Amino acid sequence: MQKIKTALLSYGMSGKVFHAPFLSIHPGYELLGSWERTHKHIKSDYPEVKSYNSFKELIDDGPDLVVINTPVSTHYEYAKKAMLAGKHVLVEKSFTATLDEAEDLKKIASKKGVKLAVFHNRRWDSDFLTVKDVLSKNLLGDVVEAEFHFDRYNPSLSPKIHKETPNKGAGILKDLGSHLIDQALSLFGVPDAVFADIRITRPQSVVDDCIDVLLYYQNLRVRLKAGFFVREMVPSFVVHGKNGSFLKQRGDVQEEDLKIGKKINPKTWGIEPRSKEGLLHTEFKGKIIRDFLPTFSGNYYTFFDLLYDAIANNAVEPVTAQDGINVMKVIEAAIKSNKDKKIVRIS
């Protein structure tokens, strides 16, 4: 099996929790190391890898794939430099800070003949995979309304300065909101128009931390909500069709398991508690059903498996640059909608 030499641009939470654990166990990758600017931690977890002191040192070490997991405002700069150096690139969400940046990166990838993927890993959450399966089996009939939440109760500001300082990549819309938008678009496609209410609710916050985004389709409305003042959780996925409804709370266990260092077994990974099973109430093939559905297992390993296939065998990326561009179209439409207090059409 071809080994894809891979380097990370940082080893904070995303590098330590979401990337290195999968890259280190997948037989198709060789984790070279990470650029670490101040604290040097990666070698304590992976003694055989390197801690780079600069971007140039990292690139000169000859990676095939560079993971851009730095603050959003830097994604464009580093992704561009890596691709111009002939490297395949995986960019964390949100893809870029602006739509223009996203479209330019796609052009560069095409020109250089390299793969460019966006890390919307939440497509492989257990809860979302279950919702996707319900829709793929047409258990609800024609969908008329859906509401997705990514809620938390956390009034405190993040210790990460780049997340709480006004900059073109900060705010919940481009953080949790980008996941919600990507999930909606992967199910329903790009909407015709957007209406958004974007607010600041936490004391001392200077960046948006509460969003309510409504996506308009011809016969469907999809509402996306995220905020930090939800102590009592409502269902994170609510889908209503002409035959029935499906309600599912957020139950994916992968992030918490990764944070505590749980070892990954791709065959048994990401199994959420049965207590979080979703409720299906519908009429299907002439029969009324009201029951809890078994939940799919979540598995971010699948993302890296598909990315390997894209690089090694020239398959399509698991989340393409165009997917990232489409998310940025909705984000920019939401920002304009909030500013102008009106519905904004998407070209």
CATH of the domain at 69: 3.40.50.720
Residues 85, 127 within the same domain: no
pLDDT by residue for the chain (347 residues), tens only, comes to 899 999 999 999 999 999 999 999 999 999 999 999 988 999 999 999 999 999 999 999 999 999 999 999 999 999 999 999 999 999 999 999 999 999 999 999 999 999 999 999 999 999 999 999 999 999 999 999 999 999 999 999 998 888 888 888 889 999 999 999 999 999 999 999 999 999 999 999 999 999 999 999 999 999 999 999 999 999 999 999 999 999 999 999 999 999 999 999 877 899 999 999 999 999 999 999 999 999 999 999 999 999 999 999 999 999 999 999 999 999 999 999 999 999 999 98
Residues 270, 288 within the same domain: yes
What's the helix, strand, coil split of the chain in %, to 5? 35, 25, 40
d(CA 137, CA 190): 21
pLDDT score at 241: 98
CATH of the domain at 187: 3.30.360.10
Dihedral sign, Cα of residue 63, residue 65, residue 66, residue 67: negative
d(CA 261, CA 144): 41
pLDDT score at 167: 87
3-state secondary structure of 74: helix
Answer whether residue 323 is part of any domain: no
Residues 64, 140 within the same domain: no
Residues 243, 293 within the same domain: yes
Range of the domain at 96: 4-121+303-317
Helix (H) or strand (E) holding 252: none
Residues 205, 258 within the same domain: yes
Q: Are 177 and 224 in contact (CB under 8 A)?
A: yes
